[in-house]
Structures are given as structure tokens and as C-alpha cells.
């Protein structure tokens, strides 16, 4: 298929005009998505609470998952409440990333039952509690 010189010039002019227009900002729905996830978590938490009694015995891995979920949720809540606007966590994150690097070099997750995510979560919580 051949394009005439005039059509090619027209296409180039259209592209140049589009390139000079200010870009339309992309609107992401992260807040909406997060609220949907929180609603689901709220529903699951309510249903689980109704299923369990004070005497219910849970396996250790289930208890660990609940503890981790609670810690993660609490960390996000405090970040949104205090750190997101003031940038408080900007100073902590490089230190935490270094801790992760240090731990990754020391521990071999394949060689043991050690859960690196638990250690990283503990270190993050320790760092955040010092703020």
C-alpha cells in the first residue's frame, strides 16, 4: 500500500498537533480498589469472628497469618494517617530496604523453615515504632 506525499504530510501534521497538546492525566482508581479490598477484609473478619469462640484452638500457621494480616493492616493505617502526607516513611524505607538486603544475604530460606517475611515484618514494625 502506497501513501501519497500529501497524505503523509497530513499524518505528520496530525501527530505533531497531538504531541503538542497537554497530556490528559490518567485517573487511577487506587482508592476505589483499596476501599473494595477493605470492604472484603471487613466482611471476612466479621464472618471469622462469628465462627470462632474464645475457646477455639487454631493451628499455629493460622495464628501466624492472622497476626501478619493485623500487622500489615495496622501499618497501612498508620502510614495513611500519619506518614503519607508528611513523608515520614520516606526516611524509614531506605533503612528497611537495607535490612531486607542484609537479611537476604544471611538467611537461606531454602535451608530452613525460617520465614524471611516474618523477620522483615518485625524489623519494619520496630523501625516504625521508633518514629
Euclidean distance between CA atoms 97 and 90, whole angstroms? 11
Euclidean distance between CA atoms 86 and 93, whole angstroms? 14
**What pLDDT digit, counting tens, does each position of 51-79 carry?**
999 999 999 999 999 999 999 999 999 88
- What are the extents of the domains in the chain? 59-131
Secondary structure of 48-64 as H, E, C letters:
HHHHCCCCCCCCHHHHH
**What pLDDT digit, counting tens, does each position of 79-98 carry?**
888 876 655 555 555 655 66
pTM of the model: 0.46
Amino acid at each position: 500500500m502506497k501513501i501519497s506525499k500529501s497524505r503523509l504530510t497530513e499524518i505528520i501534521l496530525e501527530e505533531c498537533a497531538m504531541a503538542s497538546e497537554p497530556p490528559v492525566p490518567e485517573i487511577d482508581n487506587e482508592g476505589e480498589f483499596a476501599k473494595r479490598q477493605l470492604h472484603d477484609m471487613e466482611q471476612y473478619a466479621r464472618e471469622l469472628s462469628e465462627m470462632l469462640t474464645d475457646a477455639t484452638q487454631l493451628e499455629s500457621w493460622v495464628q501466624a497469618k492472622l497476626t501478619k494480616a493485623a500487622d500489615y493492616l495496622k501499618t497501612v493505617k498508620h502510614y495513611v494517617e500519619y506518614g503519607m502526607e508528611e513523608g515520614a516513611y520516606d526516611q524509614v524505607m531506605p533503612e528497611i530496604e537495607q535490612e531486607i538486603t542484609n537479611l537476604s544475604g544471611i538467611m537461606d530460606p531454602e535451608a530452613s523453615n525460617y520465614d524471611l517475611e516474618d523477620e522483615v515484618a518485625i524489623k519494619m514494625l520496630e523501625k516504625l515504632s521508633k518514629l
